[in-house]
Each structure stands twice: as structure tokens, then as C-alpha cells.
């Protein structure tokens, strides 16, 4: 992997905008999405909502994404939180709303092409809450032989009894100094 591609941060293309995002005023509170029969299957189970998350951000260069579908996956209080490293070597965490993600990362995903897929998963669940540690890889085109990026998405979810909601996605890309541990990679 080239260091310059690590700036893409988990394929969600936010590292290059992280300093600007940290200085952005908070968005007004979101309103819960009204039920949408077109997206009902996406939120019917934990497996379905995680698959929908990966599917909705993935596509070839020039291929529009369904951002209404993406927004539907997220709870009104949800945050997306990429991690990065500043020039001094300190960790940086940036929190943005799903709409902030669409506004900032969306054009890059469509311009460059981006296919993120889950390659391994660990799930912990208690009552209405679930935590998914989802190892991913990313390619510009689905047919690319090798990924340009790998990392882990920490996805927190909430089951309200009627549907699943993504509450947060918090991620870190793999780097030469922080490789993916074997226990988070696919088993042979």
C-alpha cells in the first residue's frame, strides 16, 4: 500500500478533510427517517444493515451513490468518526454527521471509484445494542486484483424493536506501523 492512499482512511475518503471537518460548526439535529418500503430490507437485521452500509458507499468511478439510502441507515444522533495521524504523529479523531460524510466524501467516492467490502467480522450483542468489529478492504474497481486499503470499522448499532439503526461508525486504516492483527483477518 502506498502511504498516499492511506489518507483515504477506511475507504471513506475523509482523512484529507479531517482538519477542515474538525473546524466545521455542528449540524442541526437530524430528524428520524420516515419508514421507507424501498429500504426496509436494509434495516431488518444486523447482517442486512452492515451489508447495506458497505454496498451504498461502493461503486465504480462515475457511478452515483444512493445517499438517501445511506442516510436511512443512520440514527438521527449518529456520527461517523475517522481516525488519522497529524504531522506531529498524534492521533486525531473527527466526528461528522452522515450528511457531513455525504457532502465531503461523496464526490471523491464517485470521482475515483470505490469498492469497500467486509472481509472478517466480530459481533457482540446485548439486548438492543450491538457492536460489530468489521475488517474491510477497499479497491477502486471491483475487479482490481489487490486492495489499496484495509482497516477496521467499529460499528455500533441499535435495535428499536422495529428496525436496526447505525449509531456510529468509527474506523482506522491499516498502516505500516499499525498492521491488521491476525485475529481480525479472515480465517483460512
Average pLDDT over residues 114-119: 98
Band (pLDDT 50/70/90 cuts) for residue 125 is very high
Query: Measuring CA to CA, which residue among 130, 169, 148, 159 is closest to residue 11?
Result: 148
Contacting residues for 155 by C-beta, under 8 A, at least 6 apart? 50, 53, 131, 132, 133, 134, 166, 168, 169, 170
pTM score above 0.85: no
CA-CA-CA-CA dihedral for 7, 11, 15, 16, to nearest 10: 70
pLDDT, tens only, 3-23 = 333 333 333 333 333 333 444
Domain chopping of the chain, boundaries: 3-22+34-176
Answer yes or no: are the C-beta atoms of 116 and 42 closer than 8 Å: no
| Distance between CA atoms of residues 97 and 103, nearest Å | 10
* Residue length of the chain: 188
Instruction: Check residue 31 and give its pLDDT.
Output: 64
On the question of pLDDT at 135 being above 50, the answer is yes
On the question of pLDDT at 114 being above 90, the answer is yes
DSSP H helix total and E strand total for the chain: 5, 6
pLDDT, tens only, 64-111 = 999 999 999 999 999 999 999 999 999 999 999 999 999 999 999 999
Average pLDDT, the chain: 87
Topology of the domain covering 3-22+34-176: Nuclear Transport Factor 2; Chain: A, (3.10.450)
| Distance between CA atoms of residues 147 and 157, nearest Å | 27
Amino acid at each position: 500500500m502506498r502511504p498516499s492512499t492511506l489518507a483515504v482512511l477506511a475507504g471513506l475518503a475523509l482523512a484529507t478533510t479531517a482538519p477542515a471537518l474538525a473546524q466545521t460548526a455542528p449540524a442541526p439535529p437530524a430528524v428520524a427517517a420516515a419508514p421507507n418500503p424501498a429500504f426496509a430490507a436494509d434495516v431488518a437485521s444486523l447482517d442486512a444493515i452492515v451489508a447495506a452500509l458497505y454496498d451504498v458507499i461502493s461503486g465504480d468511478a462515475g457511478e452515483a451513490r444512493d445517499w438517501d439510502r445511506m442516510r436511512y441507515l443512520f440514527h438521527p444522533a449518529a456520527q461517523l468518526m475517522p481516525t488519522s495521524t497529524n504531522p506531529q504523529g498524534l492521533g486525531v479523531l473527527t466526528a461528522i454527521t452522515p450528511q457531513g460524510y455525504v457532502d465531503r466524501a461523496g464526490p471523491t467516492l464517485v470521482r475515483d471509484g470505490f469498492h469497500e467490502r467486509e472481509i472478517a467480522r466480530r459481533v457482540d450483542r446485548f439486548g438492543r445494542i450491538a457492536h460489530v468489529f468489521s475488517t474491510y478492504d477497499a479497491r477502486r474497481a471491483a475487479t482490481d486484483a489487490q486492495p489499496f486499503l484495509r482497516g477496521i470499522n467499529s460499528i455500533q448499532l441499535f435495535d428499536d424493536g422495529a428496525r436496526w439503526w447505525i449509531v456510529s461508525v468509527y474506523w482506522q486504516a491499516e498502516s505500516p506501523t499499525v498492521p491488521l492483527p491476525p485475529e481480525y483477518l479472515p480465517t483460512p
